Amino acid sequence: MKRFCAVTTAFTVLALIPAAASAKVIEIGATPTQAVPACPGSPCLAVSRTTGYQAKVGTNRGLMTVPANGRIVAWTIGLSKPNAAQVKFFTSQLGGPAQAGITVLKVGRYLRDTVKAQGPLVSLAPYFGSFAQFPLATAIPVRKGDLIALTVPTWAPALQVGLGGDTSWRASRPRDKCKDNKTQTAQMDVGDKAQYYCLYRTARLVYTATLITYPKKTTASKSARDSG
């Protein structure tokens, strides 16, 4: 799959961070083996009308957990290339053209998580068949322990299937609606709370988020101070 960066100017922020400040750039959700979504194969499956996050990949249970305080400056989604008939079917059945956006969740007890912040929704059709990166015009502050989720109010061909049983993702659907992929359950507003009860095994949501950690203040060594 080709790579596509919607906008590149946002990453000039990296040039503003002094080298000694020890800020880090971390791609949340990245794994050694790149996930590749299915389509136009059969069956062609898509994420639909929900907010979800990757719960586990192999032994990694914290793939989408923010590892340190900082800011989300961009997010990336891997999109397969459904054919015209598949696009028409999804669009007619799932509320319109493909859209998605990044969501930050505050983790609660019993899988009840609350929306802390969201990025804008983007139209996905121009990027089908690629890994598309979307820098955020306004970076989203996050804290260690937050979860990065993907909100899909309509549909998105960003689902890899046929994986092992040790790979799974969760969705913001009620426990009795796990097989209902048409009812709208996407968390669309800050403050929304939902129970992420529904767990889907052998599948992966293909997305990541770019975190720039807050710089840690460094101190000069004693010899350096003395030499000054």
Query: Phi, psi (5° rounding) for residue 16?
Result: -90, -5
Query: Residue 226 half-sphere exposure, CB side, CA atoms within 13 Å?
Result: 3
pLDDT at 35 (0 to 100): 84
> SS3 sequence, the chain?
CEEEECCCHHHHHHHHCCHHHCCCEEEECCCCCCCCCCCCCCCCCCEEEEEEEEEEECCECCCCECCCCEEEEEEEEECCCCCHHHHHHHHHHCCCCCEEEEEEEECCHHHEEEEEEECCCEECHHHCCEEEEEEEEEEEEECCCCEEEEEEEEEECCEEECCCCCEEEEECCCCCCCCCCCCCCCCCCCCCEEECCEEEECEEECEEEEEEECCCCCCCCHHHHHHC
What is the model's pTM? Answer: 0.86
Q: Tens digits of per-residue pLDDT, 84-139?
A: 999 999 999 999 999 999 999 999 999 999 999 999 999 999 999 999 999 999 99
Q: Confidence class of residue 9 from pLDDT cuts 50, 70 and 90?
A: very low
Query: Phi, psi (5° rounding) for residue 88?
Result: -60, -40
Q: Tens digits of per-residue pLDDT, 10-57?
A: 444 444 445 556 889 999 999 988 888 888 777 889 999 999 999 999
Pairing outcome for strands 2-5 and 130-142 = parallel
pLDDT at 167 (0 to 100): 96
Q: Confidence class of residue 191 from pLDDT cuts 50, 70 and 90?
A: very high
pLDDT at 72 (0 to 100): 98
Neighbours of 81 (CB within 10 A): 16
